Amino acid sequence: MSAEAENQASSPPKTAQTMKYISWVALALMTTSSVASLRPSPTMAVYGLASIFLYIVPALVFLLPTALVSAELASGWDGGVFNWVSQGLSKPMGFLAVWCQFAMTIFYYPSLLGFVASTLAYVINPDLASSGLWTAIVIMVCYWAGVWVSSRGTSGVAGLASGGLIIGTLIPGALLVILGIAFLGQGNESAAPMTSDHLLPAWAGLSSLVLIVNNFLSYSGMEMNAVHVSSLRKPGKEFPRAMFLAMGLVLLIFILPALAISWIVPAEELSLTAGVMQAFDAVFAAFDSQWLTPILGIMLVAASLGGMLTWLAGPSRGLLLISRREGYLPPFLQKLNKHGVQQNILVTQGLVTTVIALAYAFIPDVSSVYWIFSVITTQVYLIMYLLMFVAAVRLRRSQPDHPRGYRAPMLTGLCGVGFAASLAALLIGFVPSSQFGGGSVGVYLAIVAGGALGLGLLVPWLFYRFRKPSWKEAAA
């Protein structure tokens, strides 16, 4: 969901001689590996059986439209989301879209590394999982270590992500589900009720549905794999098959572990960051094999850190390439180090990330901080999707005869559904979660609005407003 701008901007034109086809099953697995993760499972485990409904609805109204619409765009126009939105709307809107693709990572790293800190706590001392200071220290150490590794231009970092799917998602996920079933098979009562009258979430106002926003972030990134649609032999038939298979696999990977956690850990005791390890620890205790808990923790941590390294190299590189060409960022941020890496962007981003990470140290509830960062990450990213859906409709009308390898069926309707769902998720994010209890609503709104609107809209506007002609290729 990130390096597309870089990849597409630097890829040579395809020719008949260089074209290599992939199967639709391979594309489905690639898509699954880039979207599926165990990290959001504790968030949805809070809902118990209703988590099935809360995963399927966003899959239909957001995941499917995103996949089909981005496939048409990727099969017709190179250059990723910047070029799609630039041609459909305008270049400033294209810059805003690619900026949001980058800026969401500023809040993504603290939430991702907050999960790492809580998981790592179960390797050392589970009591640390609720310590904000511990979480802040782990975030800063891991992030700056990642910057050091990335700034050296280490090759092969991208391969860590594919290994992470097996080590940090498939094996732990399957183990969690098997142990959960065995846990129930031993006669233990499920912590969450599993009767049919709990298929829908209990309605207590919008706050009871707020955690669904997390699922939009879980499903984001489909536009990254859309670039591969032209590599299918029959895109019109094979791409929908690949997307439906990927949706099925993603839903299984998301839903089954979430249900397993809800069987083992009561919702009121569930930590949004440490819920996976809470479940492993409890189920291993039931089978008298708690010595396995740290091993699973190391596997989850290793996969998350591998994923972070691939993210560090991707979105910032895409922003750099477009900014050098169009002059959107000042020369200082365009400079490369001796390894050809955008070190100044990474360091500047790291300073902001460090300040954000300190919030963990000063706000007592780790789950609340994690949730706020997840909401801001989702909202900033959703701005990009809103622009993408509008641009797709405009391109279908303004360039109807432009050659496309794939034409999404009922594109206007898909874009309408995707736009409405994205906008609704963005607005619901401003409603405090029911888990916040006595927290100040005003403070919550100030943090979320300041983070999402400030970083997602104000900062890119300032860069655009005060740009200078000399910034184009200034550091080249």
Distance between CA atoms of residues 421 and 415, nearest Å: 10
Beta strands in 61-187 (DSSP E): none
Beta strands in 402-463 (DSSP E): none
Query: At residue 193, what are phi and psi to the nearest 5 degrees?
Result: -65, 140
Number of other CB atoms surrounding residue 123 within 10 Å:
17
Q: Which of 393, 385, 396 lies closest to 419, judged by CA?
A: 385
How far is CA 254 from its chain centroid?
13
Distance between CA atoms of residues 69 and 412, nearest Å: 9
How far is CA 210 from its chain centroid?
17
> At CB < 8 A and 24+ separation, what contacts does 450-456 make?
451/107, 451/372, 451/376, 451/379, 451/380, 452/375, 452/376, 452/379, 452/380, 452/426, 455/103, 455/106, 455/107, 455/376, 455/380, 456/99, 456/100, 456/103, 456/104, 456/379, 456/380, 456/383
Quote the pLDDT of residue 218: 79
Q: Which two tokens stand for residue 26?
A: 């391979």
Distance between CA atoms of residues 226 and 70, nearest Å: 6
Distance between CA atoms of residues 280 and 283, nearest Å: 5
Q: What is the pLDDT along the chain (476 residues), one digit of tens a residue?
A: 433 444 444 344 444 445 568 888 888 887 787 778 888 888 888 888 999 998 999 999 998 999 899 889 988 887 788 889 999 999 999 999 999 988 888 878 888 888 888 889 888 888 888 888 898 899 999 999 988 887 876 555 555 555 667 788 888 999 989 999 998 998 888 988 888 888 887 776 666 667 677 777 778 777 776 767 777 888 888 888 888 888 888 899 899 999 999 998 888 887 877 888 888 888 888 888 888 888 988 988 888 887 787 777 677 877 888 888 888 889 888 888 888 888 888 889 889 888 888 877 777 677 777 778 888 888 999 999 999 999 999 999 999 999 888 899 999 999 999 999 999 989 888 888 765 555 677 888 888 888 888 888 999 999 999 988 888 865 44
